[in-house]
A and B are shown apart, each in its own frame.
Chain A
Amino acid sequence: MTQKSPSADIRAALTDISPMIAGAIPFAMVFGSIAAQKGLSPLEAVLMSATVYAGAAQFIAVDIWSNPVPVLTIVLTTLLVNLRHVLMGAALVPHLEPLRPWQRYYFVSIHTDESWAVALKRAQTKGLSPTYIMAMTLPFYVQWPLATLVGAVIGNQVGDPARFGFDFVFTAVFIALVTGFWKAQRQTAVIAVSVIAALITREFIPGVWYIFIGGVAGTVTGALLWKPSVDDAGEAT
């Protein structure tokens, strides 16, 4: 265990999360703007960002929003869109040991694609500390409802995030993280199968099933490629 100062953890957390914040703010503003066009009040839009706090699900919800509000459809769609978090939460298990139980459930309850990926990257190199988790998640949480409010109030004047490449920030971050995983573990087959499964699924199944199915396909590939080794002799039968 290396000794880490809290201020160094805070600096690292803010450095790691700031590109994600830059990428997320334009989308929160677009969400606020679309929600306003669909007839949601700024309060309702902000409340959704603060309580649901899941970009993809919120965009799809306001997309199918109509009058009367199809409550059941919206809730079930949200469930499907967010199924990937079941897998993502499972992947956090080995890394949250340094945290107290409430801190673990705090992070698990609030994790997003972005903060999950940032935490995993940190866990691989330095391990996770409570300070790092707090300093990384709080600013990323706060920006979402705040930028939603701005978007809901200024409405149609919100520009297209694609104009300055903001829409690509998220993709670039995830590509860089996958490349990092590949450098560390050479899981070429896992990544290749995930790509192929995701592409095929998106071609044939509407919605965001490609994330879940692509993720499961890669995970199963990792399990199938496993071979008992000397290290596992204690567990293998």
Chain B
Amino acid sequence: MSLDPITLVANLGMALVTWLTRITGYTVMRRFNPGGRLRAAMEALPPAILTAIIAPYALTTGPAEVIASALTILTALRFPVLAAIVVGTGSVVVLRMFLG
């Protein structure tokens, strides 16, 4: 079990900047009491960023992922999240066998 000093420095640097990104938005926005337009922005933020995280992967990886994503949406419209996960991952495995 070795621990290289330079590796440790890089590691701790990564940990520090990651922690700063995690606490900055919360700490700064807590001081405001958002109303009106700013509140509308804060309400749009969660779906906006969730969408941005997955959209390129879901839409540009291949036909199997696109179809499985559509099936996930259809399931999630009527059933709990867990059902949508099962349908999504199950269908992607099957679809990849046929679509490559």
Contacts and interface: CB of A to CB of B under 8 A. Distances in A.
A223 interface: yes
Contacts, number: 296
B49 interface: yes
A69 B6 contact: yes
B70 to A, nearest CB: 9
B50 A222 contact: no
A198 B52 contact: yes
A195 B13 CA distance: 32
A131 interface: no
Nearest to A184: B47
A158 B10 CA distance: 25
A206 interface: no
A78 B9 CA distance: 14
Contacts of A164: 93
Interface of B: 1-4, 6-15, 17-30, 34-60, 65, 68-69, 72-73, 75-77, 81-82, 84-85, 87-90, 92-93, 96
A232 B36 contact: yes
B6 A71 contact: yes
A183 B51 contact: no
Nearest to A120: B46
B54 A57 contact: no
A44 B7 contact: yes
A134 interface: no
Given A178-B47, A236-B36, A199 B60 contact: yes
A217 interface: yes
B31 to A, nearest CB: 9
A63 to B, nearest CB: 13
Given A213-B52, A226-B36, A79 B60 contact: no
Contact of A182 (B4, B18, B47, B84): B47
Contacts of B59: 195, 199
B55 A176 contact: no
A32 B85 CA distance: 26
Contacts of A166: 89
A110 to B, nearest CB: 8
Nearest to B90: A165
B25 to A, nearest CB: 3
A44 B11 contact: yes
Contact of B42 (A40, A75, A91, A213): A91
Contacts of A150: none
Contact of B36 (A40, A92, A228): A228
Nearest to A121: B81
Given A44-B8, A61-B10, A82-B18, 14 more contacts: A53-B15, A79-B20, A87-B25, A90-B45, A91-B49, A117-B46, A171-B58, A181-B50, A185-B43, A190-B48, A191-B47, A199-B55, A214-B52, A222-B40
